[in-house]
Structure 1
Amino acid sequence: MNEPSTRLRAEAEPAAAIDKAKLDAIQQLGQIAVPAADPSNVFCMSIIGQIEGHMVLPPQNKTTKYEHLIPQLVAAEQSSKIEGILIVLNTVGGDVEAGLAIAEMISSLSKPSVTLVLGGGHSIGVPIAVAGNRSFIAESATMTIHPIRMNGLVIGVPQTFEYLDKMQERVVRFVTSHSRVQEKTFKELMFKTGELTRDIGTTVIGEDAVRHGLIDEVGGLGKAIAALNALIQERKPKADAGAVPFVPAASMAGAVPGAEGGLPQ
């Protein structure tokens, strides 16, 4: 008596699971079917919204938490299956120290890395955008370069100003050492007046970022992935050349005079 109902229930469960998966896809992605990605040797990391540092931002802010990114970069560096890292940026900036920490992590990777600015790579997003081996920016994407600032208008004591000045020099030094922009040019962009409504600084768009030397090339996802694959292929022969070839023990014994069967006679 129970066999038909059990069979019907067993057949209904997979169908219900499929319906739930479709519903989740519609709610999360706005479409029913998402193409499955093939196994890849490239790890893609996105940096979006505001970079959250030591202070937790309000829940309505779209944030990227640096404590989430750093373990991902460590895992990608240690993984034998990952051969390259693609960093996609669309960020308004955020915490200076957190942004610099992410940038330093990317620049210190032993594996090839490519950065791609889509939409915007503003403020502390600039050091992250130049941290890879190659950098790309979409034609319509922008980068805002301005001095480091704190909330409020009054600096209480001279030590606060000195701290901000030293932190700003850290940003300038990192950007100029990881891109082709000259320090004089970068500081001119940083302290330019009259372009931004409520602040000093400059907004550069696509070609301008390349012309100033901040970014290597204008391009989108296709160019960025092609460049990363090229870097991976360039690295492979070097890795193979550094490997010690395996030589059988018998061959080694025959190559050394008097080394037949062990010690020389």
Structure 2
Amino acid sequence: MHDSYWLGSAVNEQPQPEIAPDDKKKQANAIVESIQQLGQTNVPQMESNIHCMTIIGQVEGHIVLPPQNKTTKYEHLIPQLVAAEQNQKIEGILIVLNTVGGDVEAGLAIAEMISSLSKPAVTLVLGGGHSIGVPIAVSGDVSFIAETATMTIHPIRLNGLVIGVPQTFEYLDKMQERVVRFVTSHSNVTDEKFRELMFKTGELTRDIGTTVIGADAVKHGLIDRTGGLGEALKELNRLIADRKKEAAGTGVYN
């Protein structure tokens, strides 16, 4: 009995292989990077049928913004949307916005891609969905806005040197029409109401436009519903289930 107990103890107490110093350093660096980037040491790993895409800070387009600016680069978002559209495991896309706006053409490109997805897409405005963030916010199948979130609607503006010739103003007018047409065709706001909000004076300092908050965005028809993450995910799952039922009836599901 004594010998067998000793033998079992010896087996159980076998020394574990030591981690090489280089591997320890890599693990430590990975933890530090995770803390710096995400504010946590462990990122929960789980399989999900929903792809979450965030649009945070300023939408960066053709001009690289200063490093101190919090930006979302459109060339990073477009491959995500293409991958989500092609990946059969992804059944729905959740777009979370907290943006001040940014490059008009980049914002419209993102909005057009979201609106052309074959899979269900739900947008959620948290904090703010200002300027060119408005078309992105209305580009999904259903849009949500937090009760405390805001959206600023104003005419297109240019930074830097502006050539004061008729062609410049015609270009601006055409750009403006693109935004108006997209927003009114992907939401319940009327053309007249949207232009009224856009050109309203006296509400914004040094500019024309309107800031709408949560329920007001819904009242004007810009956003479908007020709600947060839970409501947005519930609606997205409902859209996914409806798509599966429809596909079951036709025998085709991509």
Is the pair's TM-score, using the shorter chain for normalization, greater than 0.5? yes
Provide the rounded CA distance (Å) in 2 between the counterparts of 1:231 and 1:225: 10
Provide the rounded CA distance (Å) in 2 between the counterparts of 1:184 and 1:71: 35
TM-score normalised over the length of structure 1: 0.84
Alignment partner for residue 55 of structure 1, among 42, 63, 69?
63
Alignment partner for residue 188 of structure 1, among 189, 196, 210?
196
Q: Partner of 1:232 in structure 2?
A: 240
Alignment partner for residue 147 of structure 2, among 139, 152, 172?
139
List per-residue Cα deviations over 1:195-233 (Å, max 9, x = no partner): 000110000010110010000111111110000000000
Would you say 1:242 and 2:250 are equivalent positions? Answer: yes
3-state SS of paired residue (1:179) = coil
CA RMSD of aligned residues (A): 2.0
List per-residue Cα deviations over 1:91-120 (Å, max 9, x = no partner): 110110110000000000000000000111
Q: 1:20 to 1:97 in 2, by over 3 A?
A: closer
Q: Say if 1:138 and 1:206, in contact at 8 Å, map to a contact too.
A: yes
Write out aligned runs for 1:33-112 (5 A).
33-34=42-43, 36-112=44-120
List per-residue Cα deviations over 1:56-87 (Å, max 9, x = no partner): 11111111111111111111111111100000
**Cα deviation, residue 22, structure 1:** 3.8
The number of residue pairs the alignment matches comes to 237
Q: 1:20 to 1:57 in 2, by over 3 A?
A: closer
**Cα deviation, residue 26, structure 1:** 3.1
Q: Name the amino acid aligned to 2:37.
A: Q
**Cα deviation, residue 234, structure 1:** 0.4
Q: Partner of 1:12 in structure 2?
A: 19
Provide the rounded CA distance (Å) in 1 between the counterparts of 2:33 and 2:110: 32
Bigger Rg over Cα:
1
Q: Partner of 2:39 in structure 1?
A: 30
Provide the rounded CA distance (Å) in 2 between the counterparts of 1:134 and 1:195: 29
Provide the rounded CA distance (Å) in 1 between the counterparts of 2:78 and 2:27: 35
- Structure 1: give runs of 5+ residues left out of the alignment: 1-6, 245-265
Q: Name the amino acid aligned to 1:197.
A: T
Tell which deviates more after alignment, 149-158 or 194-203. 149-158
Structure 1: which 4+ aligned runs deviate by more than 6 Å?
none
3-state SS of paired residue (1:64) = strand
**Cα deviation, residue 15, structure 1:** 6.1
